[in-house]
Structure 1
Amino acid sequence: MKFLLTNDDGYLADGIAALKAAVESRGECTVVAPNQAYSGCGHQVTDKSLIRVESGGPGIHIVHGTPADCSRLGLLQFAPDVDWVLSGINEGANLAGDIFMSGTAAAAREATLSGKKAIAFSQYLRKPEYMQDWERTTRWTQQVLDVLFDLPLEAGQFWNVNFPALHESEPDPEIEFCPHDTSQVDLKFEWNDEGAIYRGQFRNRGQRPKCDVAVCFSGKISITKLALDCSVN
């Protein structure tokens, strides 16, 4: 198989290194990733200015643009014949409404728009309670891929995967397929004379039972199938 790897934390991030380690034994990997972190940029694209691209070594292309730019350029120029576009592994969960702000999800969504199969991966972090073990996340990613590669994925759909934050003493988590939550985040702001600063806590966000937030927060790997078509009858 052939893979295009990208992210929104930048080409030097621990998460994309963990993702590459998880898949490089399965086939050919091409990395097309941003030159810097674009966390929270959503599906922003660059369409009115030059997008500079430089080499980061064999099979690595550094894009001075957004994650969606990376998917577009990767599929048009550097790896048009890939079987899968894999985005992440994001340093932080992308659950519920996060997917609309997430550059990680946007890169997978853009690939889906281009007719490619895609998966967005994110790792929930709880600092300073737990130190992040990316080798363990690599192992979980391999386990998830063993499952998802054998499942059907229709045109216009992509997978959103979130790994839980677990203490090193806890066993590997179970995988649970679950719906996408629509609950709001913890909306708290601190006001001063100049304006407002967001002070909400990720852990205190709203959640619906058996949906992606609750599943990930319970210590399981949440997997949700998302669709491009947002229309309703």
Structure 2
Amino acid sequence: MTIILTNDDGIDADGIRALQQAVSGESIIVAPNQQYSGCGHQVTTHKGIKLEKRSTTEYALDGTPADCTRMAITQIATNTKLVLSGINAGGNLGTDVYISGTVAAVREAAIHGIPGIAISHWIKKPLVIDWQVATNWTSRVLTDLLSRPLPPGSFWNVNLPHLEPEQPEPKIVLCQPSIDPLPVDFLMEGDNYYYQGKYSDRDRTPGTDVDVCFGGDIAVTLIRL
């Protein structure tokens, strides 16, 4: 089956290469030609979209992650059976799904009846992600989730934890998405306000994806349209 790989960090990001290594089977990369983090489900309808064919299996799009999914399933691989998005450098937990371009790419797939999995990696700054470890964890997750039935109009959202090298291998935990808000705080400098909410300070309601991921396991949530 044809698998589309995309992200919101851009086609040259390390995360999409780590995702590619985790996938078995035919895959095609259709990803933004630049950074689109936090763009949500933005789509381009008011101007043309330039598509650069880098190879027979790799395309860079001058558009958002949701644009990438739209272009992939209608113009590049109409036989697409699965859309994978990530691996995002940073968590997309709980209510982040409304903000995340990574998640929007698979939400767009679900709208068209195509299964999808969004994969992100929580970062404790200034941590540098070990992408080989992320690939190994993602391979485990894909094997698990692709064996599970996925209800129509839904998709999987996965968040990998930050672990120190000596910590135990994380478990895959199916859980509920947090509905707690992100910390909202701003610093005023002159006429400008700068967001300074700390991601790690968000509420950890027990049993939610935030709690599971912050606790050191792989958080998997089923998101419905």
TM-score (norm 1): 0.94
TM-score (norm 2): 0.98
Corresponding residue of 1:231: none
> 2: CA distance between counterparts of 1:131 and 1:48?
38
- Superposition map of 1:194-205 within 5 A: 194-205=191-202
For structure 1, the residue ranges without an aligned partner over 5 or more in a row are 229-233
> Which of 100, 112, 121 is the aligned partner of 1:102?
100
> 2: CA distance between counterparts of 1:138 and 1:80?
27
Question: For residue 162 of structure 1, what is the amino acid of its counterpart?
Answer: N
What displacement does 1:40 show?
A: 0.2
> 1: CA distance between counterparts of 2:93 and 2:87?
14
Please state if 1:159 is matched with 2:156.
yes
What displacement does 1:186 show?
A: 1.3
Q: Secondary structure at 2:4's aligned position in 1? A: strand
Corresponding residue of 1:146: 143
Question: For residue 78 of structure 1, what is the amino acid of its counterpart?
Answer: I
What displacement does 1:93 show?
A: 0.4
> 2: CA distance between counterparts of 1:168 and 1:82?
37
Question: For residue 98 of structure 1, what is the amino acid of its counterpart?
Answer: D
Please state if 1:112 is matched with 2:107.
no
Structure 1 ranges of 4+ moved more than 3 A: none
Corresponding residue of 1:85: 83
Corresponding residue of 2:9: 9
Q: Secondary structure at 2:142's aligned position in 1? A: helix
Deviations, residues 138-191 of structure 1 (Å, cap 9, x unaligned): 000010011101100011000000000111222321111000110011111111
Corresponding residue of 1:217: 214
Please state if 1:181 is matched with 2:178.
yes
For structure 2, the residue ranges without an aligned partner over 5 or more in a row are none
> Which of 123, 127, 138 is the aligned partner of 2:121?
123
Identity of aligned residues (%): 45
What displacement does 1:65 show?
A: 0.3
What displacement does 1:106 show?
A: 0.2
> 2: CA distance between counterparts of 1:98 and 1:202?
11
Question: For residue 67 of structure 2, what is the amino acid of its counterpart?
Answer: D
Pairwise CA RMSD:
0.9
Question: For residue 181 of structure 1, what is the amino acid of its counterpart?
Answer: S
What displacement does 1:196 show?
A: 1.2
> Which of 9, 29, 48 is the aligned partner of 2:46?
48
Paired residue total: 225
What displacement does 1:207 show?
A: 2.5
